[in-house]
Chain A
Amino acid sequence: NAGVTQTPKFQVLKTGQSMTLQCAQDMNHEYMSWYRQDPGMGLRLIHYSVGAGITDQGEVPNGYNVSRSTTEDFPLRLLSAAPSQTSVYFCASSSAEGVAGELFFGEGSRLTVL
């Protein structure tokens, strides 16, 4: 069972470059979200989606864009990378049928911005 798949696992960017972190889930979950994890700060919500065509901002959305054209995919775009975006990024999904807040996570994407 694939679950939540994130690519790439590792990426190094130069300041100002753009890139997309991919997230796909095969569980037909309605809810998908992106978090960033930084030492001493836990996980902070960047953007989330409650279904195809619907997205909203989380706690730290600046510098990131998302779209949700299908139920399965929820890519995260960095428009112009900055060193402050060096972090580990996690995609998570959950079902509207299950317990609200019970998240299934990908393995993470480690991004370094030089």
Chain B
Amino acid sequence: AQSVTQLGSHVSVSEGALVLLRCNYSSSVPPYLFWYVQYPNQGLQLLLKYTSAATLVKGINGFEAEFKKSETSFHLTKPSAHMSDAAEYFCAVTPRGYQKVTFGIGTKLQVIP
């Protein structure tokens, strides 16, 4: 069985500051990992994905995440927060080759002007 743990249900950063959203996974087999973003009153959209090609993954809107097997982590970062980054972010995992996706509880990012 696979699961993800997102540390911090709410994170606040100042505009221009580093964004760091934490995700740790648990999986009995090598997983695929994802970050999704949800803007208010919208569905989720894929931000980036890890499928083992490279441990540092770049996504849309300047976000990136690094897969660290030794730490079972897949933290999401962005060097400089923008007001438009305010949203809820979900980490997700699925075993390779399987379509069932397990989501974390989400982290709401607030960007303070």
B112 sits at the interface (CB 8 A): no
Q: Chain A residues near B113 (CB, 8 Å)?
A: none
Size of chain A's interface in residues, with CB distance under 8 A? 26
B67 sits at the interface (CB 8 A): no
Pick the residue among B98, B99, B103 that contacts A42 (CB under 8 A): B103
Q: How many Å lie between the Cα of A50 and that of B44 in the bound state?
A: 20
Taking a contact as CB atoms under 8 Å apart, the answer to whether A100 and B105 are in contact is: no
A100-B99 contact, Cβ under 8 Å, with A107-B43, A108-B43: yes
A75 sits at the interface (CB 8 A): no
B8 → A minimal CB distance (Å) = 13
Taking a contact as CB atoms under 8 Å apart, the answer to whether B99 and A94 are in contact is: yes
B43, closest chain A residue (CB): A105
Taking a contact as CB atoms under 8 Å apart, the answer to whether B43 and A99 are in contact is: no
A48 sits at the interface (CB 8 A): yes
B53 → A minimal CB distance (Å) = 10
Q: Chain A residues near B101 (CB, 8 Å)?
A: 33, 45, 101, 103
Q: Chain B residues near A106 (CB, 8 Å)?
A: 43
B42, closest chain A residue (CB): A107
Q: Chain A residues near B103 (CB, 8 Å)?
A: 35, 42-44
B69 sits at the interface (CB 8 A): no
10 of the cross-chain contacts (CB-CB < 8 Å) are A42-B103, A45-B100, A48-B99, A58-B100, A90-B43, A99-B49, A101-B98, A106-B43, A107-B41, A108-B43
Residues of A within 8 A of B (CB): 4, 31, 33, 35, 40-45, 48, 50, 58, 90, 92, 94, 96, 99-103, 105-108
Residues of B within 8 A of A (CB): 9, 32, 34, 36, 41-46, 49, 51, 90, 92-94, 96-106
